[in-house]
């Protein structure tokens, strides 16, 4: 009787999970498998799903392509800059909002709006902000005697512009997550620290940061994956991959190979390479966070 009840419970659980499992299989597992299969062909017809020349030639070509090297470097620069900077700024803003300042509810809504706003629309707004002639950013710099900078047209400033936009667009989600974590910390911990006459910095380093450890690890993993998948940010602010391909990222490289060059096997190979890089970085970050948790 007990075994029969357990089987019924297991069957109900499977039925509840079945719709989600089907969605994951159709939209995640199958495309991943199909991309992996397609990447091993020299030439592939997406209409009849047949390929020629099975092997590693597409991987060899992509790994020797200077444009891919540029996309890989830009993606690493984008991730290295935007991930830690956005996390530090969002944590500072979340702490400020959690301190009970006047109008905190309004600012919470204001900071969250970019997350629910179309990235392309925000990119168009940033094009105006960074416009070389009448942009707000150059007007501000002009107050300090700094000459106008070609943020959108100079290849030397393309990645700087992209990183600034990337940091700003990544703040909203992180602020909300950090704010939820801060509000979940037991107030008695801070009360005990005040009794011991601990300063604000000591409470931050000894209470706030350790309590936010799991959330911090989550933020780093999600932010790193998001940074490696940067594409909408590039198109939103430049319309393409920047002046002289100076802001090309790995995902834009994949898009260009697939839709513009119709080179499906090269696009698939670059996608698999990016997937492996993300897996390695995610594994390293999770290992580091687990070690810190054990300590």
Domains of the chain (ranges plus CATH)? 2-54 (no CATH), 60-294 (1.10.3720.10)
Taking the CB of residue 104, how many other CB atoms lie within 10 A of it?
Answer: 14
265 vs 271: CA distance, rounded Å: 10
86 vs 196: CA distance, rounded Å: 33
In the predicted model, is pLDDT for residue 275 greater than 60? yes
Label residue 45 by pLDDT band (50, 70, 90): confident
pLDDT: which is higher, 37 or 5: 37
Res 25: pLDDT:
86
User: CA geometry: angle at 193 spanning 192 and 197, to 5°?
Assistant: 115
pTM for the structure as a whole: 0.86
Res 287: pLDDT:
81
In the predicted model, is pLDDT for residue 3 greater than 70? no
């Amino acid at each position: 009787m007990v075994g029969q009840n357990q089987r019924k419970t297991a069957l109900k659980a499977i039925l509840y999970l079945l719709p989600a499992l089907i969605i994951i299989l159709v939209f995640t597992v199958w495309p991943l498998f199909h991309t992996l299969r397609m990447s091993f062909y020299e030439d592939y017809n997406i209409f009849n799903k047949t390929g020629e020349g099975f092997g590693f030639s597409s991987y060899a070509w992509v790994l020797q392509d200077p444009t891919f090297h540029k996309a890989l470097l830009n993606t690493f620069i984008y991730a290295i800059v935007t991930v830690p900077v956005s996390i530090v700024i969002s944590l500072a803003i979340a702490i400020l909002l959690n301190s009970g300042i006047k109008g905190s509810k309004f600012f919470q809504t204001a900071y969250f709006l970019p997350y629910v706003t179309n990235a392309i629309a925000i990119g168009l707004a940033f094009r105006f902000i960074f416009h070389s002639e009448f942009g707000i950013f150059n007007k501000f710099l002009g107050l300090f005697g700094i000459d106008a900078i070609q943020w959108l047209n100079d290849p030397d400033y393309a990645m700087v512009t992209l990183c600034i936009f990337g940091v700003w667009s990544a703040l909203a989600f992180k602020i909300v997550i950090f704010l939820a974590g801060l509000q979940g910390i037991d107030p008695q911990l801070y009360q005990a620290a005040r009794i011991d006459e601990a300063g604000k910095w000591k409470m931050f380093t000894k209470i706030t940061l350790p309590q936010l450890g799991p959330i911090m690890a989550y933020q780093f993993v999600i932010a790193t994956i998001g940074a490696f998948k940067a594409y909408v940010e590039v198109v939103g602010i430049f319309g393409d991959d920047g002046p002289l391909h100076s802001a090309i990222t790995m995902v834009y490289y994949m898009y260009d190979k697939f839709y513009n060059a119709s080179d499906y096997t090269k696009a698939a190979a670059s996608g698999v390479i990016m997937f492996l890089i993300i897996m390695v970085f995610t594994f390293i970050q999770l290992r580091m966070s687990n070690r810190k948790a054990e300590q």
